């Protein structure tokens, strides 16, 4: 698709959002009739196409839906997964206009810029380029009017799609503020540069690679980084001898980030990670990060320790200290909390097993995540945990695909002690 298929005008976006909501609402209505054979695949394809063309907030919401694999039939999820990969791109004529406006005379410092983008996402697309000093770089360029339209889009999505969110047990009205904050962050490339700088200066994990950033060529709408050669996740799976190295780097990124550095990279889309044959992992895309409040980090750490020491009775009181409680200010009841916490024991058994090899554990994790959203209307919880949980659930799905066998409880506790 070319730039003519990108929808940037306010009225056009509102109209397309309404059409998208109607189509998706119809398919969800049919699903609620318990007859999945009646779901109109063509309706869903049209929804994905619309979200891809709208970019920004609508596409991000579509990506979030695609991560909830337990809520929709497999064939529908496969269609939505398109939103996690490449999407509609804009032509180089528009890209060039943006470069000229944002970089001005500094554009002369580039020997060439490849016209065809090699990646496209919800906020912008990426072009390979070379500086005149010989350095290979990539340029992220933001789609026109994304930042300007995001406030209106979010309000419109919240209003139009609220019935859908209820059908999916997703109480977006409770977490909208957090979603908006993260999305607004992603539309400011100067903020992303600061995020990258923070990660480079904070995380000291052997084998974890960060791109070099070029501050002189970065604006709110253009970001220039070093080009980092790496394998995609699918191609990396062929190098079984490197799976354990890659796995442990990603596990450290999560555990040390959560419990030591108090910062998480909270977009678990596996396309944001590159894998090298020498065992290194390259971390891309710093538009969406989350600084973890001490009270939440400490509460989760102490909860996990209590579970692994079979001190279950402590868990609800520990979580209450972090603001996870009933609306009446009471600790969570054991019958509600225990199924959630039992999964941690099953994920980290005190024996050598392939990580996440039990399909029932994965299914249970997804079911519990869904139930958590359903009961959230009865609970009080800090908005900070929304993207924390998205990160943890997403990475669980990523890590289990490596098929690495170890005593994961021992590994986890050793990393926790380091943190």
Residue-wise pLDDT tens digits, 205-216: 999 999 999 999
Query: What secondary structure does DSSP assign to 241-301, as a single string?
Result: GGHHHHHHHHHHHHHHIIIII-EEE----GGGEEE-TTS-EEE---SSEEEPPHHHHHHHH
Strands 208-209 and 281-283, by their bridges, are parallel
From CA 143, how far away is CA 91, in angstroms rounded?
11
pLDDT classification of 274: cutoffs 50, 70, 90: very high
More confident residue, 415 or 50: 415
Determine the pLDDT at residue 1. 41
Shared domain for 370 and 254, answered yes or no, is yes
Domain of residue 15: give its range: 3-85+151-163
Domain assignment present for residue 329? The answer is yes
Looking at the structure, do residues 403 and 315 belong to the same domain, yes or no?
A: yes
In a domain, 354, yes or no: yes
Which domain-ending residue is among 128, 163, 198?
A: 163
Let me know if residue 361 belongs to a domain: yes
**Are residue 403 and residue 304 in the same domain, yes or no?**
yes
Domains contained in the chain, number: 2
Rounded to an integer, the average pLDDT of 308-327 is: 85
Question: Model pTM greater than 0.75?
Answer: yes
Which of 54-68, 118-132, 135-149, 327-341 comes out lowest in average pLDDT?
Answer: 54-68
Question: Per-residue DSSP letters for 110-148?
Answer: EEEE-SS-SEE-SSEEEEEEEETTS-EEEEEEEPTTHHH
Pair 301, 157 in one domain? no
Q: Are residues 155 and 298 in the same domain?
A: no
Domain end position, chosen among 163, 193, 220: 163
Query: Are residues 307 and 415 part of one domain?
Result: yes
Q: Is residue 348 part of a domain?
A: yes
Q: Does 410 share its domain with 267?
A: yes
Predicted pLDDT of residue 13: 42
Backbone conformation region of residue 207, classed left if phi is above 0, alpha if psi is from -120 to 50, else beta: left
CB-CB neighbours of 107 under 10 Å: 15
Let me know whether 289 and 402 are in one domain.
yes
The secondary element (H helix, E strand) that includes residue 3 is none
Question: What is the reported pLDDT for 23?
Answer: 45
Residue 138, domain member (yes or no): no
**Domain shared by 156 and 304, yes or no:** no
- Residue 295 falls inside a structural domain: yes
Claim to verify: residue 390 and residue 281 sit in the same structural domain = yes
Residue 301: inside a domain: yes
Whether 74 is covered by a domain: the verdict is: yes
């Amino acid at each position: 698709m070319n730039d003519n298929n990108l929808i940037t005008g306010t009225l056009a976006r509102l109209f397309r959002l309404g059409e998208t909501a109607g189509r998706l609402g119809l398919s969800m209505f049919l699903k609620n009739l318990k007859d999945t054979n009646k779901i109109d695949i063509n309706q869903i394809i049209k929804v994905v196409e619309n979200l891809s063309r709208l970019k920004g907030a609508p596409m991000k919401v579509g990506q979030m839906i695609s991560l909830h694999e337990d809520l929709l039939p497999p064939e529908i999820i496969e269609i939505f997964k398109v939103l996690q990969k490449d999407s509609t791109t804009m032509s180089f004529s528009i890209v060039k206009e943006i470069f000229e406006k944002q970089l001005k005379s500094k554009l002369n410092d580039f020997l060439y810029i490849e016209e065809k983008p090699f990646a496209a996402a919800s906020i912008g697309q990426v072009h390979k380029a070379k500086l005149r000093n010989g350095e290979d770089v990539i340029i992220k360029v933001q789609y026109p009017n994304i930042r300007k339209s995001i406030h209106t889009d979010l309000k419109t999505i919240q209003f139009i799609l609220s019935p859908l969110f209820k059908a999916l047990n997703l109480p977006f009205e409770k977490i909208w503020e957090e979603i908006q904050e993260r999305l607004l962050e992603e539309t400011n490339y100067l903020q992303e540069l600061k995020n990258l700088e923070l990660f480079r200066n904070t995380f000291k994990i052997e084998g974890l690679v960060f791109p070099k950033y070029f501050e002189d060529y970065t604006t709110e709408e253009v970001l220039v980084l070093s080009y980092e050669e790496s394998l995609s996740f699918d191609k990396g799976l062929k190098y079984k001898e490197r799976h354990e190295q890659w796995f442990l780097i990603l596990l450290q990124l999560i555990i040390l980030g959560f419990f030591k550095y108090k910062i998480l990279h909270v977009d678990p889309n596996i396309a944001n990670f590159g894998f090298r044959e020498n065992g290194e992992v390259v971390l891309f895309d710093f538009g969406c990060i989350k600084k973890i409040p001490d009270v939440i980090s400490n509460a989760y750490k102490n909860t996990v320790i209590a579970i692994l020491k079979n001190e279950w009775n402590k868990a609800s009181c520990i979580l209450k200290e972090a603001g996870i409680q009933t609306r009446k200010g009471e600790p969570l009841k054991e019958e509600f909390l225990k199924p959630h916490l039992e999964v941690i024991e099953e994920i980290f058994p005190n024996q050598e097993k392939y990580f996440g090899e039990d399909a029932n554990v994965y299914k249970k994790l997804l079911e519990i995540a869904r139930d958590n959203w359903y009961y959230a209307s009865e609970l009080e919880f800090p908005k900070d945990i929304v993207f924390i949980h998205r990160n943890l659930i997403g990475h669980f799905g990523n890590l289990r695909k490596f098929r690495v066998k170890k005593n994961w409880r021992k590994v986890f506790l050793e990393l926790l002690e380091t943190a």
